[in-house]
Amino acid sequence: MGKTWFITGASSGLGLEMTRQLLARGDRVVATQRREGALADLGRAHGERLLVLPLDVTDAAGMRAAVAEAFGWAGRIDLVVSNAGYGLFGAAEEVSDDQIARQIATNLTGSIQFIRAVLPHLRAQGGGRIVQVSSEGGQIAYANFSLYHATKWGIEGFVEAVAQEVAPFGIDFILAEPGPTATNFGAGLVHAEPMAAYDATPAGEVRRAIAEGSFVVWGDAARSVAAMIAAADAVQPPLRLVLGSTAHGSVTAALARRLAEVEAQRNVAFSADRDM
């Protein structure tokens, strides 16, 4: 028997690819979109197994209503995928107050409120699994993506804590951490107004690399989604699922550096204890 999934941000990128793969294998999907008509073709082909709902994740009240409608239609939802989000590109000094507020409201607060909205329904049905689409950028950082990283590091900390809170109810989590992947993520970047002062800095280097298309993107969207689905189907999936060779190399190196720094501070760390 097929499973039922609830996916936000399904009108493009990994969310759209996941919706396609799940419907192709016979599952049911509740898919949310901001752009009307983006899922029209899938609706015509799989209308009886696909419910499309409009959703703006920055509208908490509207989100709770959409979640209630989704569970009402499905009866039971086995897997929830929090995928909606985008990237804000620019040095911290370059981005505007409005850009910062929207980035946090969408990627961080929106994801938090979505998870909060589905938890009562998952508890009531006796459990379920939540896949939070994060990024390699939830464990490492690139210049010019500081606000994006703030949201991804933030949602990872939130999920680690909530996973402990809801484990007794049969609810668990996967943090999917794809590296650079061939999707429309780059085209969807919101760009800050560049400042000449940053031209000769790492921020300027990253800006030029993005503009010139010199980053090699190894990640494949279909394969990344297939790996996410396989993990979600597993009896005991990992909390963190690193996707792509770039992400694996970057995250491994970052964790090794971080651990070495902590180990080097052992004497200093212990010296901060009070006498007992």
* Residues assigned a catalytic role: 134, 148, 152
Q: What angle do CA 36, 42, 46 make, to 5 degrees?
A: 130
Q: Where are any strands of DSSP class E within the chain? A: 4-7, 28-33, 50-54, 79-82, 88-89, 128-133, 171-178, 190-191, 240-243
Give the amino acid at 254.
A
- List the structure tokens of 212: 């010139």
Run of H or E residues at 24: helix 13-24
Q: What is the DSSP letter of 7?
A: E
**For residue 37, which phi and psi values (nearest 5 degrees)?**
90, -5
Q: Is 28 helix (H, G, I), strand (E, B) or coil?
A: strand
